Structure 1
Amino acid sequence: MSTAEHVREIETAWRGGTSGRDAYVVQSWRRCLDEYRLDPAVNCEAVILPEGRLKEHRQQAEELIVIARSGLERLYGHVSGQNYVLLLTNRQGIAVEYFGDPRQTHELRKAGLYLGADWAEARAGTCAVGACIATGEALTIHQTDHFDMTHTPLSCTAAPIYDTTGELSAVLDISLLSSPREKISQTLARHLVTATARRIELANLMAQTRRQWVLRFALSPEFLDVDPEGAVAIDNAGRIAGMTHAAARMLAQSAELDWRRPELVLGKPVSHFLNLTVDDLPSLTRARPTQERVLSARNGQLLFAHAIEPPPGTRIRAPSPAIPVALREFGGGVPGIDTLLEKATRLARTALPVCLHGETGTGKEFLARAIHAASGLEGPFVAVNCAAIPEALAEAELFGHAPGAFTGAAPKGRKGLVETANRGTLFLDEIGDMPLLLQTRLLRVLAEQEVLPLGGTQPRQVRVRVISASHRDLATLVAEGRFREDLYYRLHAAALTLPPLRERADFDWLVERLLARHSPSGRYLSIAPKAREALRAHRWPGNLRELDNAIATAAALCEGGEIGLVDLPERLAGGLAGSEAEQLRAALTGCGGNVSALARQLGVDRTTIHRRMRRMGLMRHS
């Protein structure tokens, strides 16, 4: 392209004519003409600052240069041998750091791709650094995108670097003296420079906020701990004390604010933007698996999070929440269960979907009901066993049906279980057994907050809090293609794992609660030491459900106020029952076979002795 053709194109774009250029290129051309009074026919030669002035700029940017250097070295290593040049400029557009091939020093200085070069738009015209400073966005100025012919051989890609207050502090530029004709050839360069700028911002945030919590986040769990997309610093009062640019944009978007006004975010409570309080931060450290560290923004976006606590001595002590009565019924008094209930208490106050994990019978539905009771929701708790509904009827059961939708349909139609749970909690038990077709329908309901009955034409608005549960590993089902990945992350905003009964330190507390529940009216049952020993020794594959059934059965069989070993199911008594039989036989022998005498000696009714003899297969002594 000749100079005359280039000038005509710029003038045509300035007058509003059509152009195949990116909008940010045309806008820069107009700034060069209207604001800076530059002439595209006059070459803007590169300007390299003298040593004294460059030293001043470098001293002012010294802290950022130190933080950025390792990131720049890493990036330069990735593009080594491809003739790229790296420039780190300050917010005035002065190159304060430089990485390039020393064999090309003369050509690079002449082109302005050198330490001390001035790339301010007002002086150099349309260029990547200047346009990046003007827009605050990552972009590429490729060849004839440049304002005048001096720079048209170059292809330059730049990304902004923001400080912790949300203000533009620097620009990272990667350039070529010459490149392929197509602009799309620099797509990878833009990705690399943007990723490096993000890492520099994160390193700067960590350096500037050492005495505060830092919350890193990512959209994917796989990259959370290795390359997070953004981070915020949070002070003791739970307010935003600093942020990376990606975090600022995300927080602003969640509250429908303009990201170009960081003052609308900085200093505000983190709870204005995320479903999170300062008390929740300890639960998001690496003590929990990455997949479980999920939170949501106020606009519903789900994020995987990693909270980094400040050094000892500056640590925020998160007070334990008051556990509601409904949740206290689940257990307590031991650290593991108390931690579980504290998390459940905090989650109950949010609208976050919760996924409950645990073996069969560990009390997932009980805990789900308790979370609902503690939530304050006005709607009902609706439980759905996804494994128990016949697949042919599942769609109508969940989503309802219109009148006459199918043979046998209710004449007036019927509301589905999802709509029944409106303004309340929908509990999806054994969610891993839901057919894929229903998973797709459910995902749409959760995403759009509306349900379309089978055979219907008008969707109905619903607002439900979803709690799901499974004894199966949902992540494995996702990997096998048997569970939708997008639904998995939608349901898995927060996760609670219920321990198996054999690992619960509050086992005796649970036994006492169940004894109280199953005691006959007007009296309280106790349990004999050997019977309690048998309960403790059992592995409890059925967990709480099995324990409840065992005590309910023993309470019905026992005579008197104490459950003995013989009252327990045979699978629990095992060898202990045999030893008790020998003891009973010996006791009878000692009483001369007199059942009444033995009963008086033991302080029980003689019918109790007869019953135990029958259950142990002992013949009555005469």
Structure 2
Amino acid sequence: MVSTLSHIKEIERVAMGATSPRDAPVVQSWLRCLNDYRLDPAAAQEAYIVPETKLREHREQAEELIRIGRSGLEQLFGQVVEQNYVLLLSDARGVTVDFMGDPTFDNQLRKAGLYLGSEWSENRAGTCAVGACIVSGEPVIIHQDDHFDTSHIGLTCTAAPIFDTLGDLTAVLDISQLRSPTAKTSQQLALHLVASTARRIELANLMTRTRNDWVLRLARSPEFLDVDPDAAIALDGSGRITGMTHGGFGALARVMNMRGISTRQFIGQPIDRFFDIELDDLPQFMRGRPNGDRLLKAKSGLAVFASAIAPAAGVRRMPTADGSKIQSAFESLSFGDPAMERLQARAAKLAGRDIPILIHGETGSGKEYLARAIHDSCGGSGKFVAVNCAAIPEQLMESELFGYAPGAFTGANQKGKRGLIEEADGGTLFLDEIGDMPLSLQSRLLRVLSENEVQPIGALRVRPVRLRLLSASHRDLAELVALGQFRQDLYYRLNAVVLALPPLRERQDLNAVIDHLLHRVGRENAQFYRLDVGARQALLDHDWPGNLRELSNVLRVAAVLSEGGVIGLDCLPDMLHQVGALPDRVEHDTDLRKALDECGNNVSALARKLGVNRSTVHRRLKRLN
């Protein structure tokens, strides 16, 4: 073992730019310790054990991972205990949340920091296996005087990262010895064991969290395909990647020449972008065929062996009625607008599939109307339960969604309350403005979707639920994810298919929409209404920032103010009288074409010349095709 003084001098030489025979991860970590954390190699510090209350918090947050990984941890410890290794499972902040070691050496292990509650973050402990692994995301050996702090140079530590299904580092698995042979190569087997166990824990975590998705196991050799695959991918009902074992898949992707893309970027992508396979092909990769025949070809031309596991509950298809019922449910969505016709056809195809659908559109554009049409087209007996996440106060939302047990809190109904999620059991839950759901409830909703169960507040047992989930938002959920205001894992769970409703101002069937809504007002009032020429033109020229909701309200008020059922300009709000109308000199189609030609076919220039909004000109041009 090197002396403390020579170790300090070596670090100082590295700091001055001298070359070093050390592994690159060690040198990079030393430089971070010096330049980023301002640590002093001459100032040895004892290992830090977090207080008991703090440790409890860390363990509670890692409770599920500890449970999922327990079998793999015990198996690994059984393989290395005879060589006097201890096993540490640290969370993403470097705090040891699970520990296995020989109790005979408790005092020595605690002093060395190889103990429950020890913190091995790089900024506190200097170069160490856990800390370097957290920063690099790669398996690493930090052997003896690789350590930055001289108080740790007798240890040898080998660690591998554990990623969650979306690619975030969630834990580090480490095995360490108080004393070991001098040669660093003595730890190569330890590195292999730790990396393999981390890969198996990732697989167990993926299988636990994606029970309602297809799972595709991948291996370079057919012999271990079903028992110890190299990697695994989870796929939703539309064939998009919802999760993976990131450590194993990253290594496999490099072998298969899938370069230039991180594993996180695979999430949300269709599987057929990377492999020659579609969702309907997965059953042929299930057990029953020889492993050697289950060969999956990548777009790069290389191939791996694949084994498919069907969802735990199967791919549930909602009961559907005949084609006439589907047509009836969607018939009033469109009156000839091409974009709405395409959306209507797509929604009808998706209606019978158990695929989460995210509806995007401006406020008032008809998101709930589309959601109800999807529900009605399925022909099932379950309820359609709509929840506006923006309208329920945050402090009440949890009890409204999940319900509560009798006497769960002060003021609670003594009989308890059934939540809206349970109300939708067997039917459809529509979460409108889901972007406004608090982060704390997003994690609970994710559990409902992944486990098909709900736990009311104060209840000791969960209750099974089966429902179709439709959600909607006028906000960009991807942007909210980037801002940390929406969970990424929930976003990908909801975002299997996006149906984008066009705003009313962009629709080419506005005239027919006006007639449809006016006819509906007439049925409600048992009276026939009609629009005079000026009123109709004002309605056609308005921008409709409130979309269908605004148009419907305007027509209802206009009907009340009309005389003899005739709606004129005086029945409409003042804002519709002049704004957006084209000047008299270009009321005719030929005049508009001529004016546009004079402006060099520049719509913005024409709008400025006429003193109207660009959208007004665009709408008129769309009607002229």
TM-score when scaled to structure 2?
Answer: 0.49
Larger Rg: 1
Instruction: Give me the TM-score of the superposition, normalised by structure 1.
Output: 0.50
